[in-house]
Structure 1
């Protein structure tokens, strides 16, 4: 059991970072991580080792976050995010020519390279997390749930009380907002 607790302590920074991106509330993220770790310790006997420990812990945290979103009463609607979404849309529209073809000048300079090719890989991921923080709250949460946690669109729609079409629009805007942010905060600085 002591070895298990030490492994949990080692995983804590990763799961805390995950919770902070999802919840955008450091105190709530801390509480959620503490609750997750306590649950993991309580359910230690249920961990069969079929999955990597980190995957098992993240699954517990994911379920707690999902339960939190389901219980949340005041979920922002897409309309409340119109101003931020309009700005992301305007930036996105500048990436295409008159015939709706992608402008090569709109592509990030180093997009073809993988982050591992950069000598400062950790800095890249910190920049990505900062860019996620710069997105509207629901946009970042929905993007993270879909693209990083792999949650199905239908489940996200149920959690946020939005239509599939709204979900796809939000994901589209998130990707473009992240592209712009990464270009400005990472790729332009690392030329």
Structure 2
């Protein structure tokens, strides 16, 4: 009798957490994946893990923090699998063709071409990540990155992985990693300049 009571209480608690935290978790998952179905699946998986490992929740953190910790792991696994699955195409450019952008931005001496140097952005840009429309534009720009670049940016800036961890997960050398990050940032900045700041 005791186990069923325990299980029932656990399920009741998880159901209350679903009502309280689903929207926050979903918003975060959608921001990380830009995919409605994937975000919903990740949040559902998060609650399933929480139900199965409920005994590990010791109350040292808030339920919300604990759930977000589970979700972060799920999102990391999602991007790792996405990178390893060549059938998932998120690209509108190919990696080898990305040099065209680099050539457009810089001359043979590595200097900015006329009219291509970064323009200063307004001070309120520090709060742009709170703007849903900007986040949509940012995600659209990220989808235009080559797959390896996209994964590197996700892992470094959104998952806050250390460079050596990103290198290990993507199977690249430190030199290649920094080149990828540098070129990805240039392409993202150019895309945002066109589609947001000059839009």
- Give 1:96 deviation, angstroms: 3.7
- Give 1:107 deviation, angstroms: 4.2
User: Which of structures 1 and 2 has the larger relative contact order (alpha carbons within 8 angstroms, sep 6+)?
Assistant: 1
- 1:101-112 equivalences under 5 Å are 101-102=111-112, 105-112=115-122
Distance 2:143 2:169 in 1: 20
- Give 1:126 deviation, angstroms: 1.4
My pick for the range that moved more, 105-114 or 132-141, is 105-114
Answer yes or no: is the 8 Å Cα contact 2:141–2:188 preserved in 1: yes
2:95 alignment partner, one of 85, 98, 103: 85
Match of 1:156? 166
Distance 2:82 2:118 in 1: 37
- 1:124-163 equivalences under 5 Å are 124-163=134-173
Answer yes or no: is the 8 Å Cα contact 1:66–1:159 preserved in 2: no
Larger radius of gyration: 2
2:22 alignment partner, one of 1, 9, 19: 9
Match of 1:169? 179
Cα deviation per residue 1:78-133 (whole Å; 9 max; x = unaligned)?
xxx9x733443332343345653446832454524333677x93211211111112
Asked whether 1:48 is paired with 2:59, we answer: yes
Match of 1:181? 191
Distance 2:127 2:63 in 1: 26
Distance 1:26 1:128 in 2: 16
Q: Secondary structure at the match of 1:114?
A: helix
Answer yes or no: is the 8 Å Cα contact 1:32–1:61 preserved in 2: yes
Gaps of 5+ in 1: none
Equivalent pairs, count: 179
Answer yes or no: is the 8 Å Cα contact 1:95–1:102 preserved in 2: yes
Distance 1:117 1:72 in 2: 29
Answer yes or no: is the 8 Å Cα contact 2:106–2:112 preserved in 1: yes
- Give 1:3 deviation, angstroms: 3.9
Gaps of 5+ in 2: 1-12
